[in-house]
Structure 1
Amino acid sequence: MALMPKLPRTVNFPVPAKPTRYEILEGLRITAPVAAGYIPLGLAYGVLVIQLGLPWWLAPALSLSAYSGSAELLVVTLAAQNTPLAVIAVTMLLVNFRLLFFAFSFPLHVIEGRFARLFSMYALVDEAYALTAARPNGWTKPRLLTMQVLFNLTWVVSALVGVFAGSLIPIQIEGLDFALTALFITLTLDAARTRRALPSVLLAGASFAVAMVVAPTQRLLVALLLFVACLAGRHVLHRRGILHSPESPASADGQGQATPEGGAQ
């Protein structure tokens, strides 16, 4: 019987990492179309700061310290109405509380270095999370940091340009303070596209209606607190099996079979 020739041992070499320059350019390519959406909102934010009679430095100061478009628009609107600082702080906490849950699935593990990781945590915004959720693979430290730096710079620069433009406008622009309301309406419509989101929309409306009756002067803060309490209570009922989602199989016909109206969206 002929002996089989001895085959050379195969060695699995690690796949070489792509150059940092390539990763940075790829991060710019992915991020640029989304970052462009920051420009009109940042301009409106900067102009709004001037139109409300607030100091110009408040726009970049908030952009660097808070770095949350919806929260910043909310803060300048409340500040112009002489809202107490404690109310502003609690409102910002409730508005930005969602970012805590984003961190659970954000690819922070690819970031090495204490300063870089702290910056990535600071620069975690909705758009950064959405991009990583849509592209769960392929994120590296240069690519991820490039994305977050571009988002941050676009927002800060747009706000500064808006401040400069607002200082050149001699007249008061009517309705510009509606930018905050328009932003939240857009976010609400974007989130409420399925039947599953309907209970949350109804809870939000009911919370605001109760707040208007109970505390009309602090309606926003009270409505947020009531809405958070309702969401927490609904979550507990879901966990205990008392309440089921309108689209969950367990709630259909009581037999675990989905009805035609209760199918997944």
Structure 2
Amino acid sequence: MDITPVATGGLPRPVPAAAPPVRSEARAALKDSAGVGLGFLPLGLAFGALVTQSGLDWWWAGLSAALVFGGSFEFLLIGMVTASAPLAAIAVSALLVNVRHVFYALSFPLHRVTGRLGKAYSTYAMCDEAYALTTGERARTWPGRRILWLQFLLHLYWAGSSTAGALLGSLIPGSVTGLDFALTALFAVLALDALQGLRGDVPTPALAVLSALGARLLVPGQMLLAAFALFTAALLARHLTTSRKPRHA
């Protein structure tokens, strides 16, 4: 704070310094999420079109995107709903597909988010893209409000584009195929972006590939869960091995 002399008595009196301008966290989050939002647009449109082409009502796409917000599981859910799959089978499939979020929670910056409501929504809206954006090198100084805005915008992108895709789905010819591959394409782009931030750490992607191949050979029916388990075990083993090495001065 500044020390400014007062005319009466000539004694100095502390005067609070002017507060610095507060940066709009919503505007910053909008800039941060713009790239993924552009990726969500064709993906959501594809999901919405796939919903209507599967014989479901258009509003089902928006409701699923807003409440389930499961990305890859939502694509799987379309076939299960149209096939009238048992509720227990849907619940088990949801667990197997989304169990990766348990591992995300180990490094997701939830501790920066304040308030019970904010933490609850941040936990609910922790999708793959939000995790990739908030755990990067440049996101280490982001405050909780910016993280919440980022997650809300990603949620909005997905729900809005899915609803628009369902409304426009009738305009897409039924002969068009490959709409469900849009999710795989987005994951491929995110994986390439993550590889660029590893800074030459070749063992990590190598362990991921080996874990996926091992899961494919050993338990192809539960490849996703087995791959994550193998990858986590490999990372823990590597961490224990490197931490036990003697440190040189």
Q: Same fold (TM over 0.5)?
A: yes
Residue 151 of structure 1 corresponds to: 154
Maintained 8 Å contact 1:28/1:150: yes
Could you tell me whether the CA contact under 8 Å between 2:52 and 2:166 is conserved in 1? yes
Letter in 1 for 2:100: R
Tell me, in whole angstroms, the C-alpha distance in 1 between the residues paired with 2:215 and 2:110: 35
**What secondary structure is seen at the aligned counterpart in 2 of 1:37?**
helix
Measured at CA, do residues 238 and 91 of structure 1 come closer, stay the same or move farther in structure 2, by a change above 3 Å? farther
Residue 204 of structure 2 corresponds to which residue in structure 1? 196
For the 8 Å contact 2:100–2:228, the answer to whether it is kept is no
Residue in structure 1 matched with residue 28 of structure 2 by the alignment:
26
Q: Map 1:179-194 onto structure 2 (within 5 A).
A: 179-183=182-186, 194=202
Query: CA 1:111–1:99 in 2, change beyond 3 Å: closer, same or farther?
Result: same
- Structure 1 window deviating more from structure 2 (56-65 vs 222-231): it is 222-231
Query: Matched residues in 2 for 1:139 and 1:52: separation?
Result: 42
Which amino acid in the other structure matches residue 122 of structure 1? Y
Q: In the alignment, is residue 139 of structure 1 matched against residue 147 of structure 2?
A: no
Per the alignment, residue 227 of structure 1 pairs with: 227
Q: Give a deviation string over 1:150-181, Cα, whole Å, max 9, x none.
A: 11111100000000111233534233334345
Q: CA deviation at 1:12?
A: 11
Identity in percent: 38
Report if the CA contact (8 A) 1:27-1:144 is conserved. yes
Q: Distance in 1 between matches of 2:41 and 2:160?
A: 9
State how far apart, in whole Å, the 2-side matches of 1:126 and 1:166 are.
Answer: 26
Number of aligned pairs? Answer: 231
Cα displacement string for residues 89-136 of structure 1 (whole angstroms, at most 9, x for unaligned residues): 223223322323333443434433332332222222232233322321
Residue 208 in structure 1 maps to residue 208 in structure 2: no
1:168 aligns with 2:171: yes
Show structure 2 runs of 5+ residues with no match: 1-10, 197-201
TM-score by length of 1: 0.68
Q: 1:85 to 1:201 in 2, by over 3 A?
A: farther
Alignment deviations for residues 44-94 of structure 1 (CA, whole Å, 9 cap, x no partner) = 111111222233233222212221322222322444455443333223223
AA matched with 2:26: I
- Verify the 8 A CA contact 1:43 1:161 in the aligned structure 2: yes
Pairwise CA RMSD: 3.7
Q: Distance in 2 between matches of 1:126 and 1:154?
A: 14
Q: Secondary structure at the match of 1:173?
A: coil
Q: 1:96 to 1:201 in 2, by over 3 A?
A: same
Which one scores higher on RCO, CA 8 angstroms, separation ≥ 6?
2
Paired position in structure 2 for 1:73: 75
Alpha-carbon distance in structure 2 between the residues aligned to 1:15 and 1:138: 23
- Give the TM-score, by structure 2 length: 0.71
1:130, 1:188 → 2: CA distance? 9
Q: One-letter code of the match for 1:151?
A: L
Do the aligned partners of 1:51 and 1:173 also contact (CA within 8 Å) in 2? no
2:185 is the alignment partner of 1:177? no
The worse-fitting range, judged by mean Cα deviation, of 74-83 and 59-68 is: 74-83
Q: How does 1:50-89 map to 2 (within 5 A)?
A: 50-89=52-91
The answer on whether the counterparts of 1:47 and 1:166 sit within 8 Å (CA) in structure 2 is yes
Listed one character per residue, the Cα deviations across residues 184-230 of structure 1 (whole Å, up to 9, x for unaligned) are: 55566666783432233233233224445xxxxxx3xx223433443
